[in-house]
Amino acid sequence: MPKPPTTITDELGIALANLADAAGAPFTPTLRLGVTGLSRAGKTVFITALVHALLAGGRLPGLSALTEGRFIGARLAESPDAGIPRFAYEQHLKSLEGTPPTWPESTRRISQLRVELRYQSRRWSSSLRQTSTLNLDIVDYPGEWLLDLPLLSQSFAEWSTGAIARASLPHAANEAAPFLAALAATDSSAEATDADAERLASAFTQYLRASREDGRALSTLPPGRFLLPGEMEGSPALTFAPLPPPGGGVRHQSLYAMLERRYEAYKGLVVRPFFRDHFARLDRQIVLVDTLRALNAGPAAVSDLETALTEILAAFRQGRNNPISKLLVRRIDRILFAATKSDHIHSSSHDRLEAVMNRLVAKAGKRARFAGAETRSMAIAAIRATRESIISEAGERHEVIVGTPEAGQRLEGTTYDGRTEVALFPGELPADPGQLLDAGRPVALNFLRFAPPERLERNAEGQLVLPHVRLDRALEYLIGDRLR
Ligand SMILES: Nc1nc2c(ncn2[C@@H]2O[C@H](COP(=O)(O)OP(=O)(O)OP(=O)(O)O)[C@@H](O)[C@H]2O)c(=O)[nH]1
Ligand SMILES: [Mg+2]
């Protein structure tokens, strides 16, 4: 039985925060949307595109409040938490609209945005319709930090055993070798020294960094702050590494005991507050998964992604709410599993992409549904960077996508310069998603990263329209019922 991720004090804090939320906004319902996704999954782009579509009246035919003519409009509202930086919406949008357009930078700190949505409720007959308001709160954070959530229910010994076992797997041999060598040269029951701790922590960080390179695309390696330390860089809470538990008792002065204390400090100072303040108070969740990047890297990366998602999602509170639980514990009652960047493949393959997504989150989804939450899988692209076309070659028709690969992207000996448009046949996703986890039946796939779309259309008010794939349907699933 895994330990709960929170202590009783945390629970009290969470309940008080929920009560304060309720008391602070007695007349305006608030929906906290959790945008969950590993590093580079597409969280920042998704939030920017979603907010832009709401503010600028983007093309959202799947959003019923809009098609029924009940959606009045949206505006950015004052943030409810004075201590959290504001999501740099304008800056992210500016980079997407620039010449040439660029994707927003990878996120380095937490930020939040509140969007106020105004609509006419369906509950009233049209002559009596009143304007209602829903506050939509969205938090953005570096994906690396998400990897830490499973640590909350693991002791140092448990985490160490798991981390060393995975570093010893054959597919990790290259990147883990220096760390394993440093570990072999260490006596964990010897007197603790800072020099030893620093040496091990630095070898471990190198290993984490190497596993995250594109070709490997491994996902499950906490601690997240080792790669993005921020102002905590060099502090003891960030200077530890997994150690094999020593035989016999653990002496207080030993290296093992010191690293164990630091591991617990990391959890107490970094992970628990992050979880308590942001993840324990969500109403709805979209889980963004860059399925295609993992597929590109092969079966080891796919199975790694599956493990990471299952472990991370186990840390969330999912289930049905009743009026009391809504006030105190607050549960996530609806989860959308979204395969992102689906514009990297032709829409005729989107069904298969959704099947792959379903397979990756099968365990996590089952657990959530068992607890009473609703789930759905969807292939989406927050911003569509490609168009579709058909190429005939030697009598065969291929469904291709056309776009501009980002500068430096390579395929079959060609390195792209970021300006040349190409038609690409990325390969076919297998009908049986199980094949993607099977090293014996390799699937040849070629996905490239594309630059954001250029020459965008403008709507009647002169605002840019960002093309997307099913962003509207994702939005309808996540908030549609709250705009009724
Ligand atoms: N084609 C396409 N590419 C996308 C889309 N969304 C994200 N990307 C690509 O994925 C990259 C990462 O997207 P981000 O939104 O920054 O990812 P993130 O989850 O915020 O990543 P971190 O901040 O590092 O955790 C972008 O730079 C784009 O290259 C999309 O809808 N379509
Ligand atoms: Mg980001």
Ligand 1 nearest-atom number relative to CA 344? 1
- 134/119 Cα distance (integer angstroms): 8
Residue from 35, 38, 44, 145 to probe ligand 1 pocket by mutation (most atoms less than 8 Å from CB):
44
User: Which residue is associated with the tokens 């919406």?
Assistant: 89
Please give the distance, rounded to the nearest whole angstrom, from the Cα atom of residue 44 to the centre of ligand 1.
7
Question: What pLDDT digit, counting tens, does each position of 371-399 carry?
Answer: 899 999 999 999 999 999 999 888 888 89
| Mean of the per-residue pLDDT values of the chain | 88
- 421/425 Cα distance (integer angstroms): 13
Please give the distance, rounded to the nearest whole angstrom, from the Cα atom of residue 163 to the centre of ligand 2.
26
pLDDT at residue 39, as a whole number: 87
pLDDT at residue 1, as a whole number: 46
Nearest CA to ligand 1 atom 13: 42
Question: What pLDDT digit, counting tens, does each position of 64-88 carry?
Answer: 999 999 999 999 999 888 889 999 9
Residue from 91, 96, 103 to probe ligand 1 pocket by mutation (most atoms less than 8 Å from CB):
103
Residues in the chain where the model's pLDDT stays below 50: 1
pLDDT at residue 125, as a whole number: 66
Residue from 36, 38, 39, 40 to probe ligand 1 pocket by mutation (most atoms less than 8 Å from CB):
40
pLDDT at residue 126, as a whole number: 63
Please list every protein residue whose CB sits less than 6 Å from any atom of ligand 1. 37, 39-45, 103-104, 106-107, 142-143, 340-341, 343-344, 381-383, 385, 449-450
pLDDT at residue 267, as a whole number: 95
Nearest CA to ligand 1 atom 8: 42
Please give the distance, rounded to the nearest whole angstrom, from the Cα atom of residue 272 to the centre of ligand 2.
21
pLDDT at residue 355, as a whole number: 93
Nearest CA to ligand 1 atom 30: 341
